[in-house]
Amino acid sequence: MSELVKINLKVNGKNYSAEIEPRLLLLDFLRENLALTGTKSDGGSTSGTCTILLNGVSVKSSYILAVQADGSEIVTIEGIAENNELNHLQQAFWEMFAVQNGYSTPGLIMSLTDLLQRNSHPSEIEIRYWLDGILSRDTGYQNVIAAVQLAAEKMK
């Protein structure tokens, strides 16, 4: 048994401290320690379902140890809404029928939130490029692209 390591994180606006195993993945910490189960695991993290915002940047939480995130600010799908209301991107997903399922949609929302923070009016090519690391079996991505474009328009 390895020695426990103390970490401090801000997750969805709340501060957390915990003593954890050094080898614990950030994904597992979020799901098991904080019960934030919207962030999913595909067992190999190739689908992007584990995507979160770490200090404002979309990352795959199954590629990061929780100790590496010590002192960071994290936003998960549970924290993306604004004042308990769907944010522009979430609402656009709903309006454009882009919601896939409870498994892949959170990763799509988190990654595309990062895109819209970086580029408030991405082209279709830029959106498709951004979607490259997120796999969903339920979609041809056309409705997802339309949702991003609608969200960008609403954010003006």
pTM for this entry: 0.91
Token pair for 95: 């309006």
Q: Domains in the chain, ordered, with CATH?
A: 5-77 (3.10.20.30), 88-154 (1.10.150.120)
- What is the block-wise mean pLDDT of the chain (156 residues), using blocks of 10 residues? 91 97 96 95 73 96 96 97 92 90 84 96 93 68 93 92
Distances from the Cα of 86 to the Cα of 100, 113, 119, 145, angstroms: 16, 13, 20, 18
Cβ proximity of 29 and 20 under 8 Å:
yes
Q: What is the pLDDT of residues 93-132, one digit of tens each?
A: 999 998 877 778 888 999 999 999 999 999 999 998 888 7
Alpha helices, H only, 69-135:
88-95, 105-118, 124-130
